[in-house]
């Protein structure tokens, strides 16, 4: 079955919030939920509680089914959203409590405890769902939507509730930014100041619960955790400041929520939850690859540049050592691009097929040679390493020594009364 | 908790029973404290009154319970038995007078905050719940950074700092607490020479201002030079008192169980220090 053909007009209408009042409310609500999930997820990530949030969201399922059964038995409509959300919250919190109980009373580690609680609660939920479906009539079928999410089934009041919870949860997190920050960074210090860490943790958990139950309808309980984890993880690549992390994470979450709900409105068969996760996931992959300094690409470039520098230094060093008459130094056999690079920089020149250092190249070569000698002497005299064993580490270190370190090295060697190779003069 | 009962039966109490359990003028007074991890005691029956206005080193081998002693005093880990009082009052009433420098390795330094953000954390108690960090608090944090020679690094992200610089940030954070008693867990561990000088300068400054600093320390050689008092610890208090009296080869032998190669060297350092002062 394929989705109905969508013309460009209706795409633009939906994207610009002209697709009807109900659709707009759902898009707005999902965006706000995305913003809130981004904000609160940032703290869950920093507190290393992302997986706990996953267990929590899976553990909501038995609560949803139980809430439906109980309210139906009492003669209310089983599909009242607030009632289902309350049930979900209670069983989610029970799940987290079970994790803590297992950790306190057994020697199991957190990953095992989370895995156990997540699967057992979810299993119980599935069983209860089958009870619901076999015992009641068609009105129960909708409960399935809470697993994968379905924005198409949402009505305006659901969307308002979702957006409202998102706004409130974000505001609480922003007000408590300072408290969350110190507990996430340095719990023992926070406790030494008398901060009630358990209370702050509980508030953080309560916010995660709020996001989870608010997102049940739109995103579903399996994928809601992605809205808590992926936006802050993506945002972390772009910044080293907490407030920016929270801001970027909120933006990425909001954008994911907006596009997920919009696409789901255009193609009603596409579940909003998975579209939201796909958008967030794409942003994450782009961030991971292309973010400056922390991204994979930037990191690779940095590493390549360091290797080029080391290769370059080796050529200069060997040429310098040949010049000052060291025996046993082979004429460097470097790749032609490297030679060309060095010629281009004006550090070496070709002369009858042989390579010669220029004036600037000689200064460079001398500096590297000196670093090598300094570090070698230091290792031999301070670290008691046999002179024959130091070559490898020296070759690694001599290229990365900062002026500050070299100065310290000279001082340390002088203290021992060792001769310091001069920087000028060139003969040793 | 059978261990605790046994130990109390075994240890000689007659001398201690004769005096009040806690001294009211001691900045921190520990009485009969036993601490256990998973029911295995790591500290037995600690009795200790810290002197006022002094630099105190806690010294002992790995696993002697040095950090545990500090954490148990601060209520960060539960005590199996015993009491701790600060100036004769329980911890809850004296918190604002106590500063803490945790071990540097205890936190994730890739955390997205600047050096200044970390130092500002020392002011959170004074700032209060849910209120933003104001300019005056930031100024206090910058002053503290300047005292440890780190004013130029205020806006650096903390992972870009060297180990010694990170340690100085932690020290600056404790300084902003404006406490009268400081607990510092291995502040000299793995720091460069200039950081070590900066830290000891700050410690002396604190002492000159009448404060007490209790430091978990691992370098025996520098104990006589840096500290007034020493607490030798190896799951129990081996000896405690002024460095000149307590920091002896015999006591170190008892603390380190004879497996210490630095012993002779440290004892010499004591002899040198005694001659020098």
Residue A75 to residue A153: CA distance in whole angstroms: 23
Closest listed residue to residue B213, CA positions, set B19, B56, B47, B37: B56
Whether the predicted pLDDT of A120 surpasses 90: yes
Note the pLDDT of residue A137.
57
Provide the whole-model pTM.
0.85
Q: What's the Rg (C-alpha) of chain B?
A: 19
Note the pLDDT of residue A251.
98
How confident is the model over A184-235, as pLDDT tens digits? 999 999 999 999 999 999 999 999 999 999 999 889 999 999 999 999 999 9
Instruction: At B208, list the tokens.
Output: 């000159």
List residues of chain B with CB under 8 Å from any CB of chain A.
Answer: 71, 74-76, 92, 95, 98, 100, 102, 106-108, 111-114, 117-118, 121, 124-125, 127, 129-133, 157, 159, 173, 177
Q: In whole numbers, what is the pLDDT of chain A averaged over residues? A: 87
* Neighboring chain B residues of A242 at a CB cutoff of 8 Å: 112-113, 117
* Neighboring chain A residues of B72 at a CB cutoff of 8 Å: none
Closest listed residue to residue A321, CA positions, set A307, A333, A331, A308: A331
Whether the predicted pLDDT of B258 surpasses 70: no
List residues of chain A with CB under 8 Å from any CB of chain B.
Answer: 46, 175-176, 178-179, 181-182, 184-186, 188-195, 236, 239-242, 244-245
How confident is the model over B126-140, as pLDDT tens digits? 999 889 999 999 999
Note the pLDDT of residue A326.
76
CA B15 to chain CA centroid, nearest Å = 27
Cβ pair A185:B107 closer than 8 A: yes
Residue A229 to residue A210: CA distance in whole angstroms: 15
Note the pLDDT of residue A375.
81
Whether the CB-CB separation of B74 and B85 falls below 8 Å is answered with no
Cβ pair A186:B106 closer than 8 A: yes
Whether the predicted pLDDT of B263 surpasses 50: no
At A368 the three-state DSSP class reads helix
How distant is the Cα of B156 from the closest Cα of chain A, in angstroms? 9
Note the pLDDT of residue A391.
65
Whether the predicted pLDDT of B260 surpasses 60: no
* Neighboring chain B residues of A178 at a CB cutoff of 8 Å: 124, 127, 130-133
Whether the predicted pLDDT of A385 surpasses 70: no
Cβ pair A188:B127 closer than 8 A: no
Note the pLDDT of residue B17.
47
Note the pLDDT of residue A423.
67
Q: Which of A176, A181, A188 is the closest to B102 by Cβ?
A: A188
Kindly tell me the burial class for residue A426, based on how many C-beta atoms sit within 10 Å of its own C-beta (0-12, 13-18, 19 or more). Answer: middle
Note the pLDDT of residue B235.
83
At B23 the three-state DSSP class reads coil
Note the pLDDT of residue B6.
41
Residue B173 to residue B224: CA distance in whole angstroms: 27
Q: In whole numbers, what is the pLDDT of chain B averaged over residues? A: 86
Residue B264 to residue B277: CA distance in whole angstroms: 20
Domains of chain A: 9-289 (1.10.3470.10), 299-426 (1.10.10.10)
| Mean pLDDT within B48-77 | 93
| Mean pLDDT within A74-87 | 84
Closest listed residue to residue B99, CA positions, set B200, B190, B32, B174: B174
Q: pLDDT band at B270, cuts 50/70/90?
A: low
How confident is the model over A308-351, as pLDDT tens digits? 888 888 888 888 888 888 777 777 777 888 888 888 888 888 88
Cβ pair B92:A194 closer than 8 A: yes
Q: What's the Rg (C-alpha) of chain A?
A: 32
Whether the predicted pLDDT of A117 surpasses 90: yes
How confident is the model over A176-189, as pLDDT tens digits? 999 999 999 999 99
Comparing A333 with B240, which gets the higher pLDDT? B240
Whether the predicted pLDDT of A142 surpasses 80: no
Lowest-confidence pick of A330-334, B59-63, B169-173: A330-334
Note the pLDDT of residue B172.
97
Tell me what ipTM this predicted complex has.
Answer: 0.86
Position of tokens 């810290």? B50
Q: pLDDT band at A141, cuts 50/70/90?
A: low
Residues linked to residue B212 through DSSP beta bridges, in sequence order: B181
Whether the predicted pLDDT of B7 surpasses 60: no
Q: pLDDT band at B269, cuts 50/70/90?
A: low
Cβ pair B117:A240 closer than 8 A: no
Can you list the alpha helix ranges (DSSP code H) found in A136-239?
145-148, 156-175, 177-185, 187-192, 197-215, 224-236
Please, which residues have CB within 8 angstroms of residue B272's CB and are 6 or more apart in sequence? B224
Mutation pick from B71, B112, B134 vs chain A, by most beta carbons of A within 10 Å, is B112
Whether the predicted pLDDT of B273 surpasses 70: no
The b-or-e profile of A386-412 (16+ CB within 10 A means b, else e) is eeeebeeebeebbbebeeeebebbbeb
Note the pLDDT of residue A390.
64
| Mean pLDDT within A280-284 | 96
At B36 the three-state DSSP class reads strand
Note the pLDDT of residue A349.
86
Note the pLDDT of residue B105.
92
By DSSP bridging, strand A354-357 and strand A348-351 are antiparallel
How confident is the model over A20-79, as pLDDT tens digits? 778 889 999 999 999 999 999 999 999 999 999 999 999 999 999 999 989 888 877 767
Cβ pair B111:A236 closer than 8 A: no
* Neighboring chain B residues of A241 at a CB cutoff of 8 Å: 112-114, 157
Whether the CB-CB separation of A213 and A60 falls below 8 Å is answered with yes
Note the pLDDT of residue A139.
56
Q: pLDDT band at B223, cuts 50/70/90?
A: very high
CA dihedral B112, B113, B114, B115 (to 10 degrees): -120
Lowest-confidence pick of A62-71, B6-15, B200-209: B6-15
Note the pLDDT of residue A266.
86
At A183 the three-state DSSP class reads helix
Lowest-confidence pick of A334-338, B11-15, B205-209, B232-236: B11-15
DSSP H or E run through B4: helix B2-10
Lowest-confidence pick of A51-60, A268-277, B45-54, B185-194: A268-277
Q: pLDDT band at B277, cuts 50/70/90?
A: very low
Whether the predicted pLDDT of A249 surpasses 90: yes
Q: pLDDT band at A410, cuts 50/70/90?
A: confident
Closest listed residue to residue A211, CA positions, set A228, A226, A199: A228
Neighbours of B99 (CB within 10 A): 25
Can you list the alpha helix ranges (DSSP code H) found in A75-176?
81-105, 110-135, 145-148, 156-175
Note the pLDDT of residue B9.
41
Cβ pair B157:A181 closer than 8 A: no
Locate the chain B residue with the closest alpha carbon to A186: B107
Lowest-confidence pick of A18-32, A154-168, B13-27, B125-139: B13-27
Note the pLDDT of residue A376.
80
How confident is the model over A88-103, as pLDDT tens digits? 999 999 999 999 999 9
Position of tokens 């081998």? B61
Neighbours of A422 (CB within 10 A): 11
Tell me the C-alpha to C-alpha distance, in Å, between residue B275 and each of B28, B146, B264, B269: 31, 36, 17, 10
Please, which residues have CB within 8 angstroms of residue A124's CB and are 6 or more apart in sequence? A61, A62
Locate the chain B residue with the closest alpha carbon to A176: B130
Q: How many CB pairs under 8 A join A and B?
A: 73
Note the pLDDT of residue B15.
46
Position of tokens 């119980």? A124
Q: pLDDT band at B180, cuts 50/70/90?
A: very high
Note the pLDDT of residue A134.
81
How distant is the Cα of A297 from the closest Cα of chain B, in angstroms? 20
Cβ pair B125:A192 closer than 8 A: no
């Amino acid at each position: 079955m394929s989705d109905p053909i969508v013309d460009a007009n209706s795409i633009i209408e939906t994207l610009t919030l002209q697709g009807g009042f109900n659709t707009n409310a759902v898009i707005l609500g999902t965006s706000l939920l995305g913003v809130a999930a981004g904000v609160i997820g940032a703290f869950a990530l920093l507190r290393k509680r992302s997986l706990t949030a996953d267990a929590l969201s899976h553990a909501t399922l038995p609560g949803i089914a139980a809430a439906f059964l109980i309210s139906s038995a009492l003669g209310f409509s089983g599909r009242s959203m607030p009632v289902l959300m309350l049930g979900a919250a209670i069983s989610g919190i029970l799940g987290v409590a079970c994790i803590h109980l297992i950790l306190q009373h057994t020697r199991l580690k957190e990953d095992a405890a989370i895995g156990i609680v997540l699967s057992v609660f979810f299993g119980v939920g599935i069983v209860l769902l089958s009870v619901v479906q076999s015992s009641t009539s068609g009105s129960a079928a909708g409960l399935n939507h809470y697993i994968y999410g379905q924005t198409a089934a949402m009505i305006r009041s659901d969307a308002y509730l979702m957006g409202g919870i998102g706004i409130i949860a974000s505001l609480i997190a922003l007000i408590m930014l300072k408290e969350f920050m110190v507990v996430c960074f340095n719990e023992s210090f926070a406790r030494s100041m008398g901060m009630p860490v358990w209370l702050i943790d509980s508030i953080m958990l309560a916010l995660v619960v709020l996001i989870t139950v608010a997102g049940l309808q739109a995103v579903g309980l399996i994928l809601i955790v992605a809205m808590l984890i992926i936006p802050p993880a993506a945002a972390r690549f772009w910044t080293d400041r907490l407030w920016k992390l929270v801001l970027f994470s909120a933006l990425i979450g909001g954008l994911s929520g907006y596009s997920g709900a919009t696409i789901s409105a255009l193609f009603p068969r596409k579940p909003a939850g998975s579209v939201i996760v796909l958008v967030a996931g794409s942003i994450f992959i782009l961030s991971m690859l292309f973010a400056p300094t922390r991204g994979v690409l930037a990191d690779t470039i940095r590493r390549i540049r360091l290797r080029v520098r080391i290769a370059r230094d080796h050529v200069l060093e060997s040429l310098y050592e040949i010049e000052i008459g060291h025996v046993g130094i082979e004429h460097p056999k470097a790749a032609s691009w490297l030679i060309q690079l060095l010629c281009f920089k004006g550090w070496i020149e070709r002369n009858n097929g042989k390579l010669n250092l220029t004036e600037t190249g000689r200064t460079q070569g001398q500096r590297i040679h000196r670093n090598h000698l300094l570090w070698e002497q230091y290792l031999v005299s301070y670290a008691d390493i046999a002179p024959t064993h130091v070559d490898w580490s020296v070759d690694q270190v001599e290229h990365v020594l900062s002026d500050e370190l070299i100065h310290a090295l000279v001082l340390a060697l002088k203290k021992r009364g060792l001769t310091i190779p001069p920087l000028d003069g060139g003969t040793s | 908790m059978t261990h605790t009962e046994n130990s109390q039966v075994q240890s000689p109490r007659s001398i201690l029973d004769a005096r009040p359990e806690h001294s009211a003028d001691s900045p921190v007074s520990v009485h009969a404290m036993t601490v256990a991890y998973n029911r295995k005691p790591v500290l037995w029956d600690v009795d200790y009154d810290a002197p006022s206005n002094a630099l105190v080193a806690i010294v002992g081998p790995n696993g002697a319970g040095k950090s545990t002693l500090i954490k148990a005093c601060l209520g960060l880990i539960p005590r199996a038995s015993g009491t701790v009082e600060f100036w004769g009052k329980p911890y809850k009433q004296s918190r604002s007078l106590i500063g803490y420098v945790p071990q540097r390795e205890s936190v994730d330094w890739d955390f997205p905050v600047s050096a200044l953000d970390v130092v500002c954390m020392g002011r959170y108690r004074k700032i209060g719940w849910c209120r933003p960090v104001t300019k005056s608090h930031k100024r206090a944090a910058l002053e503290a950074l300047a005292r440890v020679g780190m004013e130029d690094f205020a806006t650096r992200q903390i992972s870009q700092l060297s180990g010694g610089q990170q340690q100085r940030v932690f020290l600056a954070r404790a300084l902003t607490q404006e406490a009268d008693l400081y607990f510092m867990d291995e502040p000299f561990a793995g720091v460069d020479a200039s950081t070590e000088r900066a830290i000891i300068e700050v410690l002396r400054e604190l002492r000159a201002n009448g404060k007490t600093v209790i430091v978990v320390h691992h370098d025996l050689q520098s104990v006589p030079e840096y500290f007034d008092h020493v607490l030798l610890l190896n799951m129990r208090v081996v000896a405690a008192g002024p460095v000149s009296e307590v920091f002896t080869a015999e006591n170190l032998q008892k603390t380190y169980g004879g497996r210490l190669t630095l012993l002779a060297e440290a004892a010499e350092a004591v002899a040198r220090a005694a001659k020098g002062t």
